[in-house]
Structure 1
Amino acid sequence: MRVAGLVLLAALAYADASRVSTPGYLAGRQDRIAEIEKSLSSTAEQLARARNLFQSLREDEEAEAATTTTRGQPPAISLQDAAEQGDVAALAAHRQAGSDLNAEVESEGGWTAAHWAALRGQTAALKFLHEAGANLSATDRWGSTPVLMALEGGTVEMLEALVEAGVDLNVTDNGGNTPAILVADGLDHTAEKLLILLKAGADLEKANQRGRTPAHVLAERGEVDALRVLIQAGVNLNAPTPDGYTAADIAALNHHEEALKLLLKVPCRIRKRCRQTLSKKDRRRQIQSSPGRVPLLPVALQMDEGPLSRVRVGG
């Protein structure tokens, strides 16, 4: 820009030195001055653009250097081990280092870190992964998600955390098992977990692909308190399996007397259903399968004597 200015001054000085003052000369001089000023303006704009571009490139380089320094290196513990052990600090370090929290850390089954945290009941780890953007609906090759794993074997605290996170509580695996079915087939606190699902609006009645409902599963296990939750929810306890067994039938077949008493509140259901679905040979097999004790099924069929005869139907 300084060079251009000197050129302009030299041109003006030369023009003054020539001492030519004709009208044509003056007009030409004004035109040349205008051209020089236009050229200087264009040069200044180009310099400004170049300066801005240089500054932008420099800022990008500084930002990249800062990001690289901040990320650092992943921790020594693997993403899978961190999730299994509930090591939230290690999970945070993986996230800071840029690790993919949704990556399949176990190739055979397609499990992610969230699957492992759910399987091991690591509530804090699963909560961190969710807040960090991990997909709690990622499916493995069996169609199971971290949510389903957490519901099957997780704690009450983990279930409450999932409800708070707003996960889909009606998702199913490849076998059609709902969260309610998995909770019904879980290890502990079944009634409490079902009550949480009920309050969260989960479906407690839907059957899986085998035609089994939460009521069937609970009757098979004799879970009286959990069955009361289903009754509170207004679940249809008369729904049969594809083989024609209701929850009451299943409770009787598995000798769960208290569960059967609870389920006998619908008049005559157990006797009618059992007579329709069990042959004499099946009934004889039930008696022979339990030497030394009277199975509940024949007693329920007769309803004439014994402890079940004292059940107040409809009460």
Structure 2
Amino acid sequence: MEEALAWETDGMLPLERQLHEAARRNNVGRMKELIGRRVNVRARNHVGRVALHWAAGAGHEQAVRLLLEHGAAVDDEDAFGMNALLLSAWFGHLRILQILVNSGAKIHCENKEGLTLLHCAAQKGHVPVLAFIMEDLEDVALDHADKLGRTAFHRAAEHGQLDALDFLVGSGCDHSVKDKDGNTALHLAAARGHLAVLQRLVDIRLDLDERNAEGLTALHAAAEGIHPDCVRLLLGAGSNVNTLTQVTRPPHHHLPAAEP
């Protein structure tokens, strides 16, 4: 999902490149000209991106509608497994997501990392999109896990998305679920230094001394990530400080690295 990488247009014909650029910029007039010249609306760049991906990711309703009217495949995936629906959720474009759903997009889709619509919206903190997914789409699995064993709740915690986390809690998600490395949402928030999210997780009474597969608690994660404010919060909430002396393994093995 690296935009700079994905925007490269190697291997495309000149007019196909122009269609991608016009879709990305919502230049509908130019798009109509190119489509009138029978430019392939499903032409892919070197990472499999099509014009519809650019239009959906940028939130351009007119461009999306035009492409769909002229044969764009609503479920085309790029090399990362991202389709227009997942991109609209990732970037928080609710209206585009609704248009795609009404055009027959498969709602139970996931990318190569196992991210679903719910994961994408939660990780980026798009609460209106989360609400639409949960309230208007059928049979959405609230606790579906990605390839790392992480649910939307994990993703919201890991990326510091407090409003998304609150929405998921209110929707009845499983608070205690662990990923494949045994990390709870508390571990992930502590490792990244997300103080407000960590406070909320403490408030909803997650087990402060739950250990992951390496025997680490959230307190270890906060200490290793060099987040003293999170360490203080966890200690103040009752985390057992003695656990810090009970693990003898090199630091920074499985927990996600703290962002600058």
TM-score, length-scaled by structure 1 = 0.61
CA deviations 1:255-284 (Å, max 9, x no partner) are: 4344334334655x423414886448x739
Q: Deviation at 1:290?
A: 3.6
Counterpart CA distance in 1 for 2:28 and 2:141 is: 32
- 1:297 lines up with 2:234 in the alignment: yes
- 1:249 lines up with 2:249 in the alignment: no
Q: Deviation at 1:195?
A: 0.8
Matches within 5 A, 1:233-272: 233-264=171-202, 267=205, 269-272=206-209
Is there any run of 5+ residues in structure 1 with no aligned partner, and where? 1-74, 304-315
Contact 2:52-2:67 at 8 Å conserved across structures: yes
Matches within 5 A, 1:8-157: 78-104=18-44, 106=45, 108-157=46-95
Counterpart CA distance in 2 for 1:164 and 1:151 is: 15
Is there any run of 5+ residues in structure 2 with no aligned partner, and where? 1-14, 241-260
Q: What count of residue pairs does the alignment treat as equivalent?
A: 224
- 1:225 lines up with 2:163 in the alignment: yes
CA deviations 1:60-101 (Å, max 9, x no partner) are: xxxxxxxxxxxxxxx898211221111222223333333321
Which structure carries more relative contact order (alpha carbon 8 Å, separation 6+)? 2
Q: State which of 209, 217, 220 in structure 2 corresponds to 1:283.
A: 220
- The 1:302–1:119 alpha-carbon spacing in structure 2 relative to 1, beyond 3 Å, is closer
- The 1:254–1:109 alpha-carbon spacing in structure 2 relative to 1, beyond 3 Å, is closer
- 1:273 lines up with 2:210 in the alignment: yes
Paired AA for residue 109 in structure 2: V
Please identify the structure whose Cα radius of gyration is greater.
1
Compare the two structures and name the one with the higher helix fraction. Answer: 1
Contact 2:160-2:189 at 8 Å conserved across structures: yes
- The 1:203–1:231 alpha-carbon spacing in structure 2 relative to 1, beyond 3 Å, is same
TM-score, length-scaled by structure 2 = 0.72
Over the aligned positions, Cα root-mean-square deviation in angstroms equals 3.2
Q: Deviation at 1:138?
A: 1.0
Paired AA for residue 134 in structure 1: A
